[in-house]
Structure 1
């Protein structure tokens, strides 16, 4: 009786049948990580742009000979100099992408997805801030770029965040990990394929009449 009473008490207080980490608590943790990554990367992007505007006005600065140069460039288009005449369109696309990332982030349950979407949000909003607030005006603002590599267009921290996020998303897609932390194979698995629920296994495991352990009569074989 004490054991039964103790079991009921422990069940009520510790709730051993409840998993140690519920989906809601895991979702809160991953969403918090997503937000911290996004804010940190966004702050780094804004800071580096302001430093570029202050210290690169007089000309480029070579950090590693010609391999890594800091050069101030104002880009009216997208990455690689594309869409230079479509700045308002790019601004609208960035706004839609920002809203989409925020909506998807509500389902977060994977740490790597949290990092990927956090970097993506920081990159999109970093360049979006330039297009909304910088000259020549809202929806037409030019993006501040400053990192120059040989045979490569000048880019910024926001561009790096977007590319790293894209790489992480590809990795998660190949691994089959969904945003909520589940696996795509879980959706494809048929409960009928579970051997524990297969009635054929139960019939095969049941002893036949006359076998040891059965309740049926045993038949005597020929002598």
Structure 2
């Protein structure tokens, strides 16, 4: 099955820039400055805006009311592996009062076609049943979705990078570090690494998180 998303659905909007002076309009989420009294706030906001990462993305969304939780959990994992930047679900009530699930995927435009294809993917399951040859192959979709909504959106995020620290158990743990300009505003140990250390060493997961975070700040005393 081949899917083609046209440029009508995937628009490459130009990146808007913050104001250079109080007489110009700020970005959509920043109010324009009309008085001299709030000019310093405007300049500070513009300075912060230039130090964050802004990107144009697509938000895929579909409502599902007849898939099992196990299938949805598996599908969310597959969507992340297929290029989804973030995948989440939320319970909703659909038409006729039926409970269902809204599945949302945040992705780059270049990955949208593969992700939509995964939602609609059909796999053939073989049944060795000689009495019913017409049931030899039964098509099953990965999800029961029959439609996906696409929305253009922008994401503002802090610039981040990965560093590695050594714990007292001899295992290394990755630390995700987020910055605004040169200032570190957040450092968090990666769950997968901490969980692996906790299982192999037989220690509480919370202890590994604390140890890894403390090791990072010990190696970077200028941040504290």
- Do these two structures clear the TM 0.5 threshold for a shared fold by scoring above it? no
Higher helix share: 1
Q: Which structure features the higher share of strand residues?
A: 2
Task: Using structure 1 for the length normalisation, give the TM-score.
Answer: 0.24
Decide which structure has the larger Cα Rg and report it.
1
